[in-house]
Structure 1
Amino acid sequence: AAGTRRSVLLVGPDGRRTSLHDPRDTPGERLPRELYAGVRARHAHVSITGYCRDVYDDLDGMPVSTDLHDWDGVNDHHRAFAYRSDLVFMSAAALESPERVMRDILRRGRAELVVCTRGAEGCLVLPRGGALRAFPATPLPGPVVDSNGAGDAFVSGFLYGRLRGTALEECVRLGSLAGAHACTVPGTHEAPITEAALLRAASAA
């Protein structure tokens, strides 16, 4: 009702981005149930857009993940997604204490695993009942061109490994390889990593 959401992403010579987002939210808007209710899938990844907030009620025990992006750990909008997902991804970009926020998600929600990406510093992984682990970043396969989509690529690679039943370390490696690739190509849709290229990179690493 409020119009199409729009984003403009400005990319500097060093590949870093500035994102300008016009959400055009309509209060109370929700995704029509007939688009997703009753769909059977091995896994659902829920966007943190406001109109997806209510889909959890209709996913009937299906494993769910979400990406909180650069949540500051305070904004209430993200909490419904953080506390109702089984696997939570987030970025450390706006966090003063990533570990504290990760532990809070596990304490308040149902997540079994929280993953916090840190760009060139790799990522942090905290399983329920386990210790915090730090993983290094994967070396880039080329010069940085555009960091747009690196987080989404990481999530995709990680979930690809998880749905294949691979160990946590391999999931992190697949996510890191996909994220590293995304940093070396312009835009987000022009040259995404393919399954074959991801597996070749994993085999060579």
Structure 2
Amino acid sequence: MTNAAPSNSDGPTLDLLGIGNAIVDVLARAEDGFLAAQSMTKGSMALIDTAAAERIYAAMGPGVEGSGGSGANTCAVAAALGARVGFLGKVAADELGKVFAHDIRAAGVRFPTAPLSGGAPTARCLILVTPDGQRTMNTFLGACVAFGPDDVDEAEVASAAVTYLEGYLFDPPEAKAAFFKASRAAHAAGRKIALTLSDPFCVGRHRAAFQEFVRNETDILFANESEILSLYETDDLDTAVARVRQEVSLAAITRSEHGSLVVAGAEQWQVAAVPTQVVDTTGAGDAYAAGFLAALAQGKALAECGRWGSVAAAEAISHFGARPQADLKALVAG
């Protein structure tokens, strides 16, 4: 995998272009009591300010730092599975920004976005992992909020078979405009837009906007069960599936140990979860999307795409941290 610029040929030169928050993750183990003392909702993602970031970081136990962000994790896992991948996301011209850029390029992902100069510092996500493997995330968005339409390179989007949009990025208003610009560029080039809903609380904050974007712009939707129920304001999965079937051509709904449901038109497939020892659920959904899209790029049947997603997700949750530590190509072949 090289980071060469895409060519102008008619066929896609990238299988996948991710657009998302460029974040440096800091992972540490924590007990439930620590979450309660910090007034955190277990298993959720909260946006925090600079003061909260400093307070939580000071109180956390020893951490492991590395480049992260939901969409960037998907891109790194897809590259590990042999896909041709790029990523657009905003870091600052600071040390953490350099760490992020180096890490994602080392994972085989093209990363052309210019860093932010003179603004907020590079984003970081403070992730607390409890003994049951649940992750609770506290995100300081920093430079990420500066990502806007000007950062969407239409040539990059046109070069990718699928542009994958991270729902977390929907929080800043400029990013919504960037999503629509990316969608227009992708569809004008005959390419696909994939969206991951990212988090039920994120969906709740922007439900009407998400509903519009899913209905009018999205070709492939990724969501877990709680996210899809939140999107359609129902507590019945069958009702949500019936809605999503009408609105997107392809959807993959992950259901933890119950596997996933792949829906395309009138057809659907139930895909089993891959048994594993759960150590840390960070990045499970990101890895699932990566496996699914990497298989799709190779022309695999949709049920097989779901299996690749399950394999990648199982690998992600079997160790501390979101990036793959095993040979994913060997795992999906097995």
Shift of 1:103: 2.6
Aligned to 2:139, the other structure's residue is in SS state: strand
Alpha-carbon RMSD: 2.5
1:62 aligns with 2:191: yes
Identity score, percent:
26
Shift of 1:201: 1.8
State which of 47, 61, 72 in structure 1 corresponds to 2:166.
47
The amino acid that maps onto 1:38 is A
Segments of structure 2 that go 5 or more residues without pairing to the other structure are 1-118, 230-234
Aligned to 1:186, the other structure's residue is in SS state: coil
Shift of 1:70: 3.2
State which of 280, 283, 300 in structure 2 corresponds to 1:149.
283
**How far apart are the structure 1 equivalents of 2:238 and 2:199?**
14
1:138 aligns with 2:274: yes
Aligned to 2:266, the other structure's residue is in SS state: coil
Q: Say which one has the larger Rg.
A: 2
Residues 269 and 303, structure 2, Cα contact 8 Å, conserved in 1 = no
**How far apart are the structure 1 equivalents of 2:221 and 2:122?**
27
Residues 272 and 307, structure 2, Cα contact 8 Å, conserved in 1 = no
Q: Deviations for 1:130-186, whole angstroms, at most 9, x for unmatched residues?
A: 2x432221111xx32111011100100011100000111211111100000000111
2:249 matched residue in structure 1: 112
Residues 53 and 80, structure 1, Cα contact 8 Å, conserved in 2 = no
**How far apart are the structure 1 equivalents of 2:135 and 2:214?**
25
**How far apart are the structure 1 equivalents of 2:147 and 2:317?**
34
**How far apart are the structure 2 equivalents of 1:68 and 1:30?**
19
- The 5 Å alignment of 1:1-205 reads 5-23=123-141, 30-32=148-150, 35-39=152-156, 40-48=159-167, 49-50=169-170, 51=175, 52-54=178-180, 55-59=182-186, 60=188, 61-71=190-200, 75-83=207-215, 84-94=217-227, 95=229, 96-107=235-246, 109=247, 111-130=248-267, 132-140=268-276, 143-189=277-323, 192-193=324-325, 197-204=327-334
Task: State TM-score, norm by structure 2.
Answer: 0.52
**How far apart are the structure 1 equivalents of 2:318 and 2:300?**
26
Task: State TM-score, norm by structure 1.
Answer: 0.81
Shift of 1:76: 2.1
Shift of 1:122: 0.6
The amino acid that maps onto 2:255 is R
The amino acid that maps onto 2:139 is H
**How far apart are the structure 2 equivalents of 1:80 and 1:22?**
27
Shift of 1:9: 1.6
Segments of structure 1 that go 5 or more residues without pairing to the other structure are none
More helix by share: 2
The amino acid that maps onto 2:154 is A
Residues 150 and 183, structure 1, Cα contact 8 Å, conserved in 2 = yes
- Equivalenced residue count is 193
The amino acid that maps onto 2:253 is C
**How far apart are the structure 2 equivalents of 1:70 and 1:102?**
18
1:99–1:3: structure 2 CA closer, same or farther, 3 Å change rule?
farther
Q: Which has the higher contact order (CA 8 A, sep 6+)?
A: 2
**How far apart are the structure 2 equivalents of 1:89 and 1:43?**
13
